[in-house]
Structure 1
Amino acid sequence: MRLYFIIFLFLCVCSCSHQPENRAHPQPQLNTGKVKEPTAQKPAPLFGYRFVISGDFDGDGKQEKLTEHFCDSTGKEVNKFYTGDYDYNLKMLGSRKCYSFLKCDSILMDAPPIEPLPNFGLYFLKNEGDLNGDGKDEISLVTNKADWSNLNEYTIMTYRHGKWNTLYWFPIWEWQLPDLPLNAYNFKCFGVQEDVVDTGDLRLLKEIGKFKGLVKKIDNKKLQIVYRSPEISSDTIIVKLKDKHPRL
């Protein structure tokens, strides 16, 4: 009897030790078929090159400085471009109501206007020296028009009777001018230089520094210009200042 009881107890212990474990199993993940799309990247702003030139523009024997600015409707200095396409740049130009202007550091004289509007500032600005022998430095400027054309005008301006006047102008192709860096100078609003930003493309900065422009003085009445000729792509001719512009 005692032997049967021992055998019965042994079988009960063995069956209890082999009970299955109560483990939680992970639920299967359902594939909904939806793919998470990457977040769209906004175009990065590009400050754009700002021209700065100095010269004796009013003939008083002192140097004046002309500084290019590009602002939005609040008057804050802002970027000119984006890495988006040209249509996107035009759209942003209009939506922000951006405008460009030149500022003179002398309170005694105004700066020449940047026309026509709308534009992305200047394509070119240069002190040409005294071209007509009046004792004042003349400037040349080309506006970066907000359009899809490669046609443009090279305008020579002189300061006379308290305002800027067009001394001479001629048509050009925009490819006659050097390309501008997308980032070069960073200015606070209204003419105070804040810092200089390394563009990472020093070649463009060097090309701007070496570029002599499209005008060469012959004498006080004549210029040599490189212009968009009606007969050929571009041509170098000698013109008279009194004619105001070449034959078009």
Structure 2
Amino acid sequence: MKVFQLVLLLLCFSCSKADKKLNNLKVNFNDTINISKETGEKKSFHKLEKLFCIGDFDGDGKRDTIFQHNFSKLKKEEIENAPDPVKNEWEDIIKWFTKQDSDVYLAFNKTNQDTLHLGTAQGLYCLLNIGDINFDSKDEIAFVVDYLDFSNLNSCKIYSLCNGKWVELKQFNINESAFDFTSTNMMSSDIKNYLEKKDNKWFYKDNLQNESEMQLLKLSKCP
């Protein structure tokens, strides 16, 4: 009888523990919980931020819009939701995007324009229209890719549409800590301490150089 009571007590304890575990599982309605069929592992997903940029990037005098995309070459579809970096291990996020064979790219809102492919990444930290810096009647764009690595060292890339193709005109080093206090939608107007607009002119600073002051941003024309 005592053995039976002991077994019953253990069963009750096990059920109570399981119930408590389920009750403590809090789900944000903006997130989804994905359970792997192979491992039973739970991942908390969130909606990916997709940035956009407005300006005259092809020099036709009309307003263009450039949109950020993240495409899964595995599933042949746009990635709308991905593991939340706040609620998942970074290593697991890297594996997930790698398995998806993701491709971050920038595309126009109209046809017959070049698409800029940036490779496997989580997304972009920022996407800025910095205006016509090299005086060729086209706006340039600046952006920082959110790569799937373990380093805070990164770079800001500046591109222009040259003869119908995206061409990199400049690249300089930054530290990702510049984005630690940006808003959740990352629609910032500059990169604090690295790319800032003052008196209608853009200034920049390379993280790996020893300049104490920011330098005036100058860009060559399309090659």
Compute the TM-score of the two structures, normalised by the length of structure 1.
Answer: 0.65
Structure 2 equivalent of residue 22 of structure 1: none
Structure 2 equivalent of residue 204 of structure 1: 184
Structure 2 equivalent of residue 46 of structure 1: 46
For residue 204 of structure 1, what is the amino acid of its counterpart?
Answer: T
Structure 1 equivalent of residue 36 of structure 2: none
1:104 aligns with 2:108: yes
1:238 aligns with 2:219: no
Inter-CA distance 210–145: structure 2 relative to 1 (3 Å threshold) = closer
Q: Please tell me the root mean square deviation across aligned C-alpha atoms, in Å.
A: 3.2
SS of match in other structure, 1:57: coil
Q: Percent identity?
A: 27
Structure 2 equivalent of residue 169 of structure 1: 171
Superposition pairs of residues 1-248 of structure 1, within 5 angstroms: 29-31=5-7, 33=10, 35-36=14-15, 37=18, 38=21, 42-72=42-72, 73-74=74-75, 75-82=77-84, 83-114=87-118, 117-177=119-179, 203-205=183-185, 208-209=186-187, 211-213=189-191, 214-216=195-197, 224-231=203-210, 235-238=213-216, 240-242=218-220
Q: How many residues align?
A: 189
Structure 2 equivalent of residue 11 of structure 1: none
Q: Where in structure 1 are there 5+ consecutive unaligned residues?
A: 1-27, 181-202, 243-248
- Deviation of 1:212 after TM superposition, in Å, equals 2.6
Q: Deviation digits for residues 47-81 of structure 1, max 9, x if unmatched?
A: 22110111111101111111111232221333233
Runs of 4+ in 1 over 6 A off after TM superposition: none
> Contact between 1:48 and 1:81, CA under 8 Å: does it hold in 2?
no
Inter-CA distance 148–235: structure 2 relative to 1 (3 Å threshold) = farther
Inter-CA distance 76–109: structure 2 relative to 1 (3 Å threshold) = closer
- Deviation of 1:119 after TM superposition, in Å, equals 1.0
Compute the TM-score of the two structures, normalised by the length of structure 2.
Answer: 0.71
For residue 51 of structure 1, what is the amino acid of its counterpart?
Answer: L
Provide the C-alpha distance between the structure 1 equivalents of 2:134 and 2:180, rounded to a whole number of angstroms. 26
SS of match in other structure, 1:176: helix
Larger-gyration structure (1/2): 1
Q: Deviation digits for residues 61-117 of structure 1, max 9, x if unmatched?
A: 111111111232221333233321101111211223322222211212113222xx3
> Contact between 2:158 and 2:171, CA under 8 Å: does it hold in 1?
yes
> Contact between 2:141 and 2:160, CA under 8 Å: does it hold in 1?
yes
Provide the C-alpha distance between the structure 2 equivalents of 1:106 and 1:90, rounded to a whole number of angstroms. 32
Q: Deviation digits for residues 20-42 of structure 1, max 9, x if unmatched?
A: xxxxxxxx645164534446872
> Contact between 1:131 and 1:217, CA under 8 Å: does it hold in 2?
no
Provide the C-alpha distance between the structure 2 equivalents of 1:141 and 1:31, rounded to a whole number of angstroms. 62
For residue 167 of structure 1, what is the amino acid of its counterpart?
Answer: L
- Deviation of 1:129 after TM superposition, in Å, equals 0.9
Inter-CA distance 127–239: structure 2 relative to 1 (3 Å threshold) = closer
SS of match in other structure, 2:157: strand
SS of match in other structure, 1:92: helix
